Amino acid sequence: MEIDKHWLKNAIKLPTANFDHRPVAVDISLIVIHCISLPPGQFGNDYIDQLFCNQLHPEQHPYFQEIYQLKVSAHVLIKRSGEITQYVAFNHRAWHAGVSEYNGRQGCNDFSIGIELEGTETTEYTKQQYQQLTELVKVLITHYPDLTAQNIVGHSQIAAGRKTDPGDSFNWEKLLSTLDGNKS
């Protein structure tokens, strides 16, 4: 896995308009892990791509009537198969964290990279997702000097009381143990 001009070389590239510039372009010091499925609990379709690219149609599912107008994105999505789609260049601000705070800093979108895992808080993530996530995090830590294995959090940790993802089904030990040996 390689990064070229802030894009993963081997990922599917699906650029979205849902991003803007970071206040400090070089301030990338946090990784936020999320989960998403659309409709909730359903996998293996293109609805997440449609949501992040403002193409989700409300008539496709009753749940979409509540969310189709949201302007949200993540930097990348790792599907259950391990396939990676990138929506926003890593040097830009994706709209994934919302109202958030980490170590006294408000607005985590300003300084974080958002990674979505296709899944739910209660469904185990796949072996392929952990493999790809591990490789992605290693590449990000190597490429962006302010990122460390200690600055990886779930959405629930930066938006406590508001968000619960990636949930109890996410195995933090599995991820962090594979990152041993990276800079800390």
pTM > 0.85: yes or no:
yes
Q: Which residues are catalytic?
A: 116
| Annotated domain spans of the chain | 3-178
Res 164: pLDDT: 86
Share of the chain above pLDDT 70, in %: 97
Mean pLDDT of the 70-82 span: 98
Question: How far apart are alpha carbons 10 and 77 in whole angstroms?
Answer: 13
Query: What is the predicted pLDDT for the residue at 183?
Result: 41
Instruction: Give me the CATH code for the 3-178 domain, please.
Output: 3.40.80.10
**pLDDT single digits (tens) 87-136:** 999 999 999 999 999 999 999 999 999 999 999 999 999 999 999 999 99
Average pLDDT over residues 149-163: 93
